[in-house]
Amino acid sequence: MLFVLGIFLILSPIVLFIPKEGWNIGGIKLNFLTSEQFVHPPKQEKKDISKIVANVDTLSLEADPLLQHQNGSDGSMGAPTGGQLSTESSTIIHMNETGKQNLYRLFEKLQNVAGEKRKIHILHYGDSQIEGDRMTAYIRQRIQNQFGGNGPGLIPATNVYVTNTFKQSYSPNFVRYTCFGGAKLKNRRYGAMGSASRFTAEGDSSSNIKEAWIEIEPHRSAYSRAREFNNVKMFYNSCTSSCGLKVYQNGKLIHEDSLIKDGKAHSVDLSFGATPGKLKYVFTAAVSPTISGFSLEGDYGVQVSNIGMRGSSGTIFGAMDQALLSKMYSELNTELVIMQFGGNSVPFFKDSSAVRNYVSYFKGQLNTIKKLRPNVAIIVIGPSDMSKLENGIFVSYPLLPYTVAMMKKATMDVGGGYWDLFNAMGGLNSMPSWVEQGLAGKDYIHFTVQGSSIASQKFFEAFSAEFAKWQQTK
């Protein structure tokens, strides 16, 4: 009791005399509860988001000669089932006339891809807000239903994020390298996913033969389109010495191969009559090639790949080998790149100049994408609302609206489209309401699975509305 009273006596003068803006002592800012805040504590703002989160979509989440696999696909997997799209949407994709023309070129390809039995690829890059296929999973399902396509598209060589889209395991000697954090490849040859894996380090000259394996299979909780695929590609590069490969399907050996050891980028392509089940790739070599990912696809249609980069600000492309990246974009027939970044930088902005510096770097990334793939369409999904605790209540980061405005301008400057996630979820100080309804986590930053579904539904509505409007102009 005496201790508590003593604390009150010590702190009372601070409450009485501290100014609202706090004290600045030796360059260190000290804040404390003011007398006004003590008498009238601030109340948490709660925005009405009932209209925003209404009508949530309920799509369910579901020693002999080398043996050469006989490709079994009949080329029929990928047909669309979507119907008429609406021109109505509660949000829009912001773009200028150049951005509109770039998006319309994409729409032309989307409309014809299934009929022409071709494939096009959409790459969804993003930070931890999309890791584990959050947001992308729903967007993929809707796009593939509408325009055709099957499978989750690109998946990492060794996945480290929890996901319900596919299952993967690998031998413990595989090491993951990324362009955005953690262990790095000296030659920067990651490929389109910005990550790759090896079972020996670069420069290892050991002559001891090692074995390593990667196992992949569909996940029964994945969306229906993602859990069905019949074409599997394994991308690799930097193979400079002999490396044997055996592929097992549900425990049965179906393919034996020797990887091409010229150091260049290649792929091992297998096709099946139906979804293959469990595939195990077993490598035998003294020196590991670099495995830059797999692609799980149907026969034709649209592939939509989730490329989550935890902790990244999106300024990644300078850390990757440009020639390999350009080659892979071309091979994948990449027609749309979605960039969902900004959230990792917002908490660290001290002033408006810091925002402008970041956006300048980010704009450079968009220009790099255009250089690597000149006719590609670009859509930027900006940061969501994010809250920090201030005087006992959660409030939006002060420079967040300015960041959104600057990212929107930069995106439109390069001929891209900008989808405003911040305002789509309710704008300033909307995050507490999402948290209260279980749509975002207690960190007041990341969406829950249900929240991601709502956010991705809003995006697809805006995307499909633009497509429907374009159809009316033809």
The pLDDT value recorded for residue 44 is 76
Contacts of 398 (CB under 8 A, 6+ apart): none
What number of residues does the chain have? Answer: 474
The pLDDT value recorded for residue 63 is 46
Tokens of 396: 């939006």
Tokens of 229: 């695929």
**Short-list 160, 141, 305, 299, CA closest to 232:** 299
Residue 318: C-alpha distances to residues 180, 314, 326, 366, 423 (Å)? 10, 10, 13, 11, 30
Q: What is the DSSP letter of 153?
A: E
249 SS3 class: strand
Please compute, for residue 391, the number of CA atoms within 13 A of its CA located in the half-sphere on the CB side.
Answer: 20
Give pLDDT tens digits along the chain (474 positions). 999 888 888 877 776 777 766 777 766 766 666 666 666 667 777 788 888 888 666 554 444 566 667 677 888 898 999 888 999 999 999 999 999 999 999 999 999 999 999 999 999 999 999 999 999 999 999 999 999 999 999 999 999 999 999 999 999 999 999 999 889 999 999 999 999 999 999 988 888 999 999 999 999 999 999 999 999 999 999 999 999 999 999 999 999 999 999 999 999 999 999 999 999 999 999 999 999 999 999 999 999 999 999 999 999 999 999 999 999 999 999 999 999 999 999 999 999 999 999 999 999 999 999 999 999 999 999 999 999 998 889 999 999 999 999 999 999 999 999 999 999 999 999 999 999 999 999 999 999 999 999 999 999 999 999 999 999 987
Cβ-based burial of 46 (10 A; exposed 0-12, middle 13-18, buried ≥19): exposed
Pick the CATH number of 50-473 from 3.30.300.30, 3.40.640.10, 3.40.710.10, 3.40.50.1110: 3.40.50.1110
**Which H or E run contains 450?**
helix 449-473
d(CA 435, CA 123): 29
d(CA 220, CA 226): 10
CB–CB of 411/418 below 8 Å?
yes
Tracing tokens 């007041």 back to the chain, one arrives at 444
215 strand-pairing partners? 169, 280
Contacts of 337 (CB under 8 A, 6+ apart): 122, 123, 125, 369, 373, 376, 377, 378, 379
The pLDDT value recorded for residue 40 is 62
Rg (the chain; Cα; Å)? 25
The pLDDT value recorded for residue 339 is 98
In degrees rounded to 5, what are phi and psi of residue 214?
-135, 130
Contacts of 346 (CB under 8 A, 6+ apart): 383, 386, 397, 399, 400, 403
Single-letter amino acid, residue 64: D
The pLDDT value recorded for residue 57 is 66
The pLDDT value recorded for residue 53 is 84
d(CA 71, CA 53): 45
Tokens of 49: 């988001």
412 SS3 class: helix
144 SS3 class: helix
Tokens of 419: 């989808």
Helix 400-413 vs helix 352-372: crossing angle, to nearest 10:
30
The pLDDT value recorded for residue 28 is 72
Contacts of 388 (CB under 8 A, 6+ apart): 347, 394, 395, 397, 444
Tokens of 444: 């007041």
The pLDDT value recorded for residue 8 is 81
**Which H or E run contains 133?**
none
The pLDDT value recorded for residue 82 is 84
Segments of the chain assigned to CATH 3.40.50.1110: 50-473
**Which H or E run contains 460?**
helix 449-473
